[in-house]
Amino acid sequence: MVLERRVPSLEDRLGSLEELGLYLHIPFCRQICPYCPYNKELYDPDLASKYVEAVSREIDFYARFLGDKPVTSFYVGGGTPTTMLYSGLGEILERIFGAFDMRCEIHMESHPNDLSRQNLEAIKGLGVQHLSMGVEALQDSHLRTLQRPYTVQEAKGAVERAIGAGFKCVNADLIFGLPNQTLTEVEQAGRELVELGVDQVAAYPLFTFPYTKMGREIPSVANGNSGVWQRRKMLQVLEEVFYGAGYARTSVWAFTRPEVPKYCSVTVPLYLGLGASAGSYLRDVFYLNTFKVSEYINSLEQGRVPIALSLELSERMQMAGWLYWRIYETRFSKADFHRRFGRELDSVFGKYLRPLSWAGLLHDDGEEVVLSDEGTYWLHVLEDLFSIDYVGRLWGLSQREPWPERVVL
């Protein structure tokens, strides 16, 4: 697969969409965590105000083609979107709601240190109904390893205040498989989140991307880092805690309380990304904006789209991509596949799915395919073998070079 520095033709592709998801990237944080692979820079108020202008231009560009298309999911991610809570986030959201046919609620990421009562009121005032924050760990020693700027007590306070603020869903991210972390500590973190009453927990194993600080120090970190079997045990411990408390699995890494709408990124298969490093997927093309915030701003100021790389996708690649994300969600319906591609899922992927079904990794009732807990874990380990390497190469290079000529994956 080769992504190239080429702006794809957009007019027809955007015009043919029936509905779409929207992603907005806020690339600022108040500190840079050593393990984090996402595109972000230290928050700077001047840059943030120029960013508002640039995103507004990008919105206006797309609104010409998309004004009447229903937007059925909207996710604000980062970085840390709440860095811009009082410096233009509201303006951007207003612009989006003015420009597009928004038929969805707002999901937004935040940070435990940004969740004072006053800030929570301001977040609710923006219309956010689903809020997520990175709690990451509930032992002070692990928070120190991750260089998170708060204590366990402060993190719990943030979770409690967020829950008390009355969102439809409060999600807490947790990282497991941390250096020298024990199963008991993982269990304790899970139980405490349940006791606090969070609606959803997204529990990720620690990934070490080679271009992050922690990735570069991998030999020393890996000494105390856990392998795939230990991680499987840790996830099993979390499965027991969350299933025992009545939560259901809603993706490979997420457990959600019943009756709560799951907190997730983009829920429709086709989406448009706004902001530095945002990706867009429009059926037969995937493209990425430049990662560097100043370059993103410059190109929009000069009237150019900030697209840095694009990849045209054959039908086979589109189908494989579809399956990848449905495996991530742990279930999929054969009728959805037929609606999207006009072909029978079994005729395309049956030869791979049948052995997995015999091995107990998934259950196929003829209409719907549901992954078992074992299948969820091992199929994802397999996916990660490829995707972490791909994502690492693509994001790593894009963070070093704002306009790469090509990236071979």
Ligand X SMILES: C[S@@+](CC[C@H](N)C(=O)[O-])C[C@H]1O[C@@H](n2cnc3c(N)ncnc32)[C@H](O)[C@@H]1O
- Cα dihedral 351/383/107/398 (nearest 10): -130
The reply on whether position 111 binds ligand SF4 by CB under 6 A is: yes
| Cα 226 from Cα 180, distance rounded (Å) | 8
Of 44 and 336, CB closest to ligand X? 44
Of 58, 109, 185, 239, the one binding ligand X by CB under 6 A: 109
The pair of structure tokens assigned to 113 is 């240190």
Cβ burial 33-45 (10 Å sphere, 16+ → b, else e): bbbbbbbbbebee
- The CB density around residue 234, as the number of other CB atoms within 10 Å, is 23
Of 33 and 92, CB closest to ligand X? 33
Range in contact with ligand X (rule: CB under 6 A) among 160-168, 202-210, 269-277, 365-373: 202-210
- Position of tokens 């999207």? 340
Size of the site for ligand X (CB under 6 A): 18
168, 139 Cβ separation under 8 angstroms: no
Angstrom distances, CA of residue 238 to CA of 181, 253, 260, 359: 14, 10, 19, 23
| Cα 54 from Cα 165, distance rounded (Å) | 32
Of 51 and 322, CB closest to ligand SF4? 51
Of 31 and 310, CB closest to ligand SF4? 31
Of 193, 206, 300, 327, the one binding ligand X by CB under 6 A: 206
Could you please report the per-residue DSSP string of 206-234? Answer: PP--TTSHHHHTHHHHHHT---HHHHHHH
Choose among 163, 75, 74: nearest CA to 115.
163
Size of the site for ligand SF4 (CB under 6 A): 11
Identify what 204 binds: ligand X, ligand SF4, none; CB under 5 to 8 Å per kind: ligand X
Identify what 173 binds: ligand SF4, ligand X, none; CB under 5 to 8 Å per kind: ligand X
Least CB distance to ligand X at residue 369 (A): 27
Helix axes of 373-400 and 228-244: crossing angle, nearest 10 degrees: 120
Of 96, 159, 175, 327, the one binding ligand X by CB under 6 A: 175
358: left (phi over 0), alpha (psi -120 to 50) or beta: alpha
Pairing of strands 28-29, 362-364: unpaired
List, in sequence order, the alpha helices (H) in 146-182. Answer: 152-164
Range in contact with ligand SF4 (rule: CB under 6 A) among 13-21, 74-82, 193-201, 325-333: 74-82
Identify what 32 binds: ligand X, ligand SF4, none; CB under 5 to 8 Å per kind: ligand SF4
Of 99 and 278, CB closest to ligand SF4? 278
| Cα 73 from Cα 285, distance rounded (Å) | 20
The pair of structure tokens assigned to 46 is 């001047």
Range in contact with ligand X (rule: CB under 6 A) among 51-59, 76-84, 193-201, 292-300: 76-84
Of 21, 78, 375, 404, the one binding ligand X by CB under 6 A: 78
Angstrom distances, CA of residue 152 to CA of 140, 143, 327: 6, 8, 33
Of 177 and 375, CB closest to ligand SF4? 177
Within 17-36, the residues that bind ligand SF4 by CB under 6 A are 29, 32-33, 36
The reply on whether position 79 binds ligand SF4 by CB under 6 A is: yes
- Position of tokens 């709440």? 82
The reply on whether position 277 binds ligand X by CB under 6 A is: no
The reply on whether position 276 binds ligand X by CB under 6 A is: no
The reply on whether position 134 binds ligand X by CB under 6 A is: yes
| Cα 205 from Cα 183, distance rounded (Å) | 13
Sketch the per residue contact string, 126 through 165, with ligand SF4: x for CB under 6 A, - otherwise: --------x-------------------------------
Within 218-247, the residues that bind ligand SF4 by CB under 6 A are none
The reply on whether position 35 binds ligand X by CB under 6 A is: yes
Within 37-56, the residues that bind ligand SF4 by CB under 6 A are 38, 40
Minimal CB distance to ligand X: which residue? 134
Angstrom distances, CA of residue 335 to CA of 116, 324, 338, 343, 354: 45, 17, 5, 9, 18
The reply on whether position 85 binds ligand X by CB under 6 A is: no
Sites of contact with ligand SF4 (CB under 6 A): 29, 32-33, 36, 38, 40, 78-80, 111, 134
Sites of contact with ligand X (CB under 6 A): 29, 35-38, 77-78, 80, 109, 111, 133-134, 136, 173, 175, 204, 206-207
